[in-house]
């Protein structure tokens, strides 16, 4: 059993992107990084302007509509195709729907062994990072800190509240060598 995909789930500003960069540095083989932020950035401006796409509320809430869901499904299928073609991929996502979001990934990754990693961070710490980043809607990190983990099953979890990204990446890399608890 060879794991070719690592799925990181955590709220905004939880430290996922830093962990991804560190994983790419510490893993012996090349791994591609794909993230929901890249998907959102690749969407046309019109997808950000209607309820059918993705909307960011002034309080940090995020809502997605059918247009977003369709594009996300195509993106997920594309990620799975890259893995089936031989690439190793680290997915950086925010499961706004908790277990429902994970199920969508499970369906897209059917037949592939994945390592499911929860990236946790105390809401107050994530909120501070959000302010420091300056490119997020205030309130997003705090509202997502726990919500994205509801009902999600993980092989392992890391907490970036007091642990640096490199240390988290090394723990994940160690777990990767052991294999998943169960295949998807």
- 134 phi-psi bin (left φ>0, alpha ψ -120 to 50, beta other): left
Distance from first CA to last CA of the chain, Å, rounded? 12
Q: Which of 29, 37, 93, 146 is catalytic?
A: 37
The backbone torsions φ and ψ at residue 50, rounded to the nearest 5 degrees and listed phi first, read: -135, 160
Cα distances (angstroms) measured from residue 108 to each of 18, 81, 113? 25, 9, 12
| 93 belongs to the catalytic site | no
Cα distances (angstroms) measured from residue 64 to each of 24, 48, 124? 30, 10, 25
Q: List active site positions.
A: 37
């Amino acid at each position: 059993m060879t794991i070719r995909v690592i799925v990181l789930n955590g709220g905004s500003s939880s430290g996922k992107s830093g962990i991804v960069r560190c994983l790419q540095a510490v893993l012996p083989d090349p791994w591609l990084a794909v993230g929901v932020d890249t998907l959102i950035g690749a969407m046309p401006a019109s997808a950000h302007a209607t309820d059918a796409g993705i909307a960011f509320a002034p309080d940090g809430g995020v809502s997605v509509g059918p247009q977003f869901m369709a594009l996300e499904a195509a993106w997920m299928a594309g990620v799975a195709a890259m893995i089936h073609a031989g690439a190793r991929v680290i997915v950086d996502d925010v499961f706004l729907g908790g277990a429902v979001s994970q199920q969508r990934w499970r369906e897209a990754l059917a037949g592939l062994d994945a390592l499911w990693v929860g990236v946790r961070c105390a809401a107050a710490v994530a909120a501070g990072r959000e302010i420091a980043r300056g490119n997020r809607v205030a309130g997003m990190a705090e509202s997502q800190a726990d919500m994205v983990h509801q009902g999600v099953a993980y092989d392992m979890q890391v907490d970036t509240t007091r642990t640096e990204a490199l240390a988290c990446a090394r723990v994940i890399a160690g777990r990767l060598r052991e294999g998943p608890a169960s295949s998807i």
